[in-house]
Copies of this chain bind each other. A is one copy, B any other.
Amino acid sequence: MRSKGFEGMACSIAAVMGAIGDRWALLIMRDLLLGIRRYDDLRQSSGVTNATLSDRLKLLTENGLVERRQYQTRPERFEYQPTEKGRDLNLLMQALVQIGDQWNLSSLEGPPLDFIDRRTGHGVKLMTVDRETSEPVERDQLGVRPGRGADALMTWRLSRGPERADALVIRSDRSQDAGPPPVPDDHSSASNP
């Protein structure tokens, strides 16, 4: 298993990264989401080696992000395509591209990849909005708090975040401030989102 502890980790961030697997798998998902379907195309596009590509496709399939379909029988030939669940990762790709653009990693010529609205042909972006009203939320108004699924470790984590201007954390009550981390060395039995 790649880097043990990621699966039972009670944090969506860890869980999603765990489901993807690693950077190679993410690149492969990128290509699949862009419409590439064949093994050899995937290999050429991502530059990954055979062993790794084969392994990652297996993992992605097991994790329900990708589906393997036979498209020809005489010599058996297969292709891969993202599942509905896998297609949710488009949001991740958009975020990654947007961050890359902010960092202007694309030098000065602009982004290599441009997400658009196909109806209008206009460029799109991700915006943080109020979950109910869809009103825009400013970047410096963003905060975090433990959700209903937060476990002891997540609560501890958030309790360590001081209320600085540059920190994201918000605490409803400033309960007991210190105390050692709960479950200090047992990550295998944790269950956070």
Q: Which of A99, A115, A191 has the most B CB atoms < 10 Å from its CB?
A: A99
- Residue of B with least CB distance to A167: B35
Which of these binds chain B: A53-61, A68-76, A122-130? A122-130
* A–B Cβ pairs within 8 angstroms, 30 of them: A11-B30, A12-B105, A13-B30, A13-B96, A22-B22, A34-B167, A35-B161, A35-B167, A35-B169, A90-B142, A90-B168, A91-B95, A91-B98, A91-B99, A92-B95, A95-B95, A106-B147, A109-B148, A113-B146, A113-B154, A114-B144, A114-B146, A122-B130, A122-B132, A123-B130, A124-B128, A124-B130, A125-B131, A126-B126, A126-B128
Q: Are A164 and B89 in contact (CB under 8 A)?
A: no
- Residues of B near A173 (CB, < 8 A) are none
Q: Is the interface of A mostly helix, strand, loop or mixed?
A: mixed
| Nearest B-chain residue to A5, judged by Cβ | B47
Residues of B within 8 A of A134 (CB): 127, 136
Q: Scoring A residues 163 to 174 as 1 if CB is less than 8 Å from chain B, else 0, what string do you get?
A: 010111110000
Q: How far is the CA of A121 from the CA of B6 in the complex (A)?
A: 30
Cβ-defined contact, A23 with B26, below 8 A: no
The interface size of chain A toward B, counting residues with CB under 8 Å, comes to: 112
B96 touches A116 (CB 8 A): no
Residues of A whose CB lies within 8 Å of any CB of B are 3, 5-6, 9-19, 22-24, 26-27, 30-31, 33-37, 41, 44-45, 47, 81-82, 85, 87-103, 105-107, 109-120, 122-134, 136-137, 141-151, 153-154, 156-158, 160-162, 164, 166-170, 181, 184-185, 187, 191-193
| Copies of this protein, total | 2
